[in-house]
Amino acid sequence: MTTDDRIAAVHLLETGTFVPFKIVEQQVVSGSDAGEFGVRIGLLMDGGDEAEAADVVTWGALGFMFVLATLSFGDARPRGASAPDFKERDDLRVCDFLERVRFEEGELHFYGDYIRGRRMKTGITVRSDGSVRLETFGRGKLAARWLARLQGEKPLEAVQRRNEGISSS
C-alpha cells in the first residue's frame, strides 16, 4: 500500500468511526445449510432527527461503509479454491472498496464477495435518510460483533481459569 493509499484509508476509518448509529432491527438469515446462516441488520445513522441524520449521511456514509467493509475483510477466511490467494496479514485497500461501491436508485451500495482469497459475503446499503442495511451471508453473527466494537463494547473472549497454587481446603 502506498503512503497516499494508507492516508486515504486512515481518513475513511477515522470518519467512519465517528458516525453515530443505532441498531433498529436484526434478523438471522438462513443459508444453504445450517452452518451457512448470516444476518440482516437495520441501522439508523443517528443525528437526532431526520434532517441531522441526512447530514450525517453526507459526511459519514462512505467512511462508515469502509469501516464495516474493513471489519468484514479482517474476519473473512478462505473457502474452497480461494485458499491459495489468502494471506493472514492483509488489509482491505481503498481501491478494493471503491471497485465495489455503486450508487443506484438513490442508494449507496457495497458488496464484497471474495477479495484476495477472503470470503467476505457482505453487503452494505446506505440511504439518504440515514437508514443502513448490513447483510452477511454464511458469516454467522459476526456482523453484530463488528457493530458492538464500533459502539465501544469489548468483544467477549473465552477465558481459561487456572488453579495454579490454589488449594481447595
Find the angle CA(43)-CA(145)-CA(97) to the nearest 5 degrees.
70
Mean pLDDT throughout 22-50? Answer: 86
Instruction: Convert the pLDDT of each residue in 75-122 to its tens digit.
Output: 988 887 776 777 888 889 999 999 999 999 999 999 999 999 889 999
Q: Please check the confidence at residue 157 and state whether its pLDDT lies above 80.
A: no
What is the chain's length? 169
d(CA 21, CA 46): 5
The whole-model pTM stands at: 0.85
Coil, strand or helix: which one is 54? helix
Q: Please check the confidence at residue 166 and state whether its pLDDT lies above 70.
A: no
Classify the phi-psi angles of 121: left when phi > 0, otherwise alpha if psi is within -120 to 50, otherwise beta: left
Instruction: Convert the pLDDT of each residue in 44-74 to its tens digit.
Output: 998 777 778 889 999 999 999 999 999 999 9
Coil, strand or helix: which one is 83? helix
Q: Please check the confidence at residue 154 and state whether its pLDDT lies above 60.
A: yes
Q: Name the pLDDT band for 144 (thresholds 50, 70, 90).
A: very high
